[in-house]
């Protein structure tokens, strides 16, 4: 069996289609990194801040105030932010994304604090934090646990979550292109007439092809996400903020998320969900490849099936069908939406995030298993013309 898998693996990776798709994917991945990291709000602001003499401003502010998150922490962050804003009012203002998002959450909605700071400066006065009635944490609706929430650098992790979603779509398309050729290529070249009459043509050969496509897809997944995390690690100051509570991520605004998880745990959870989604894609793609007459038709059909639920969810915006569409891979790539939906008390199938998450994983894996079984049965009993 191992020798057959090696043979099938070599047959796939040596094709011009796979090599060409891989080269294009590398270029697309580079574009995702440039847009997702360098030209993101955080990346662009850091470059501009450096030009103004404020190198890694958001990081420094986050590290200065990292730790237990409470009303006093918020008060200190915003007191620092107000002081810096007024001190820099004479020139170009740097953009402190860490403090800015927190200010937008806790500044009173009936006052424009920024205009007040500018007006105070013109009068050679200073607006103090004591003159501002900040919104209490309790009123915002943050989840509370036995241990206090932790705040730290969060914007870098928000960017990682977004880029991870884009990388997943790229991986999915590459896997679809690769998996579509596994059986359809032999059908188009009429190789089935030879393969199915050999000793292991309808048993070990079929299983080896399924294993090969799955293993190759997993390898692509691991390499792509390994490169993504490596790029993130060196571009965004390592693991800063990894232990910050997901509730204190003021980009995502998941203040009432029901589980006590940090950014790194959420990242692992996203990868687990994407991995299960990928296995579902592999299973369905192989089934389509077994039915299709040519690799081209298999690619078109599989790609259409992958992207179709994204359009359908714009039509079916509520009800059971809407919930079912959110179980499909293309609608799970957006981590913010996924976390919000699964944690909503009445937004998904169950009232608890854990139950929704486990159910989704089980459905994705079950779909992979059923698809592989249908593929194997269909080809094992295929009629040779």
Q: What are phi and psi of 253, to 5 degrees?
A: 60, 40
The candidate with the shortest Cα–Cα distance to 283, out of 358, 359, 369, 171, is 369
Q: Which two tokens stand for residue 153?
A: 């650098």
* Average pLDDT, rounded, for the chain: 88
pLDDT exceeds cutoff 60 at 138: yes
For the segment 267-298, what is each residue's pLDDT rounded down to a tens digit?
999 999 999 999 999 999 999 998 888 889 99
* pLDDT tens profile 217-238: 999 999 999 999 999 998 887 8
pLDDT: is 48 or 186 the higher one?
48
- Model confidence over 81-122: pLDDT tens digits? 999 888 876 667 889 999 999 999 999 988 899 888 888 888
Backbone angles phi, psi at 163, to 5 degrees: -65, -40
| Per-residue pLDDT at 184 exceeds 60 | yes
pTM: 0.91
161 near 270, Cβ under 8 Å? yes
Give the model's pLDDT for residue 1. Answer: 67
According to the model, what pLDDT value does residue 26 have? 95
Q: Which two tokens stand for residue 162?
A: 């977004």
Percent of the chain with pLDDT over 70: 92
User: What are residue 245's DSSP bridge partners?
Assistant: 262
| 62 or 322, higher pLDDT | 62
The tally of CA atoms less than 13 A away on the side-chain side of residue 47 is 8
């Amino acid at each position: 069996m191992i020798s057959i898998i090696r043979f099938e693996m070599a047959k796939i990776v040596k094709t011009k289609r796979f090599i060409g798709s891989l080269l294009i994917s590398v270029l697309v991945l580079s574009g995702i990194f440039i847009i997702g990291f360098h030209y993101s709000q955080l990346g662009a602001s850091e470059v501009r801040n450096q030009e103004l003499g404020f190198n890694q401003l958001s990081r420094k502010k986050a590290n200065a105030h990292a730790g237990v998150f409470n009303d006093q922490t918020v008060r200190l962050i915003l007191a620092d932010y107000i002081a810096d804003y007024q001190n820099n009012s004479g020139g170009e203002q740097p953009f402190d994304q860490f403090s800015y998002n927190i200010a937008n959450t806790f500044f009173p909605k009936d006052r424009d604090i920024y205009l007040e700071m500018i007006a105070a400066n013109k009068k050679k006065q200073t607006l103090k934090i004591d003159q501002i009635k900040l919104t209490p944490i309790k009123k915002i609706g943050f989840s509370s646990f036995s241990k206090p929430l932790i705040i730290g650098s969060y914007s870098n992790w928000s960017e990682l979550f977004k880029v991870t979603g884009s990388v997943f779509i790229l991986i999915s398309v590459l896997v679809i292109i690769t998996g579509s050729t596994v059986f359809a290529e032999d059908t188009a070249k009429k190789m089935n007439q030879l393969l199915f009459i050999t000793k292991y043509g309808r048993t070990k050969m079929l299983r080896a092809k399924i294993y090969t496509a799955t293993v190759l897809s997993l390898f692509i997944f691991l390499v792509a996400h390994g490169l993504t995390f490596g790029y993130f690690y060196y571009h965004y100051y390592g693991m800063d903020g990894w232990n910050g509570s997901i509730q204190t991520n003021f980009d995502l605004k998941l203040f009432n998320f029901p589980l006590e998880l940090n950014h790194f745990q959420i990242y692992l959870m996203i990868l687990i969900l994407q991995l299960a989604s990928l296995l579902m894609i592999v299973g369905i793609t192989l089934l389509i490849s077994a039915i299709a007459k040519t690799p081209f038709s298999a690619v078109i059909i599989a790609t259409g099936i992958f992207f179709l639920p994204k359009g359908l969810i714009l039509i079916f915006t509520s009800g059971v069908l809407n919930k079912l569409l959110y179980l499909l891979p293309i609608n799970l790539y957006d981590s913010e939406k996924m976390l919000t939906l699964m944690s909503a008390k009445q937004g998904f199938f169950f009232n608890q995030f854990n139950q929704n998450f486990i159910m989704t994983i089980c459905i994705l894996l079950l779909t992979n298993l059923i698809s592989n079984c249908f593929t194997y049965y269909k080809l094992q009993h295929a009629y040779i013309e």
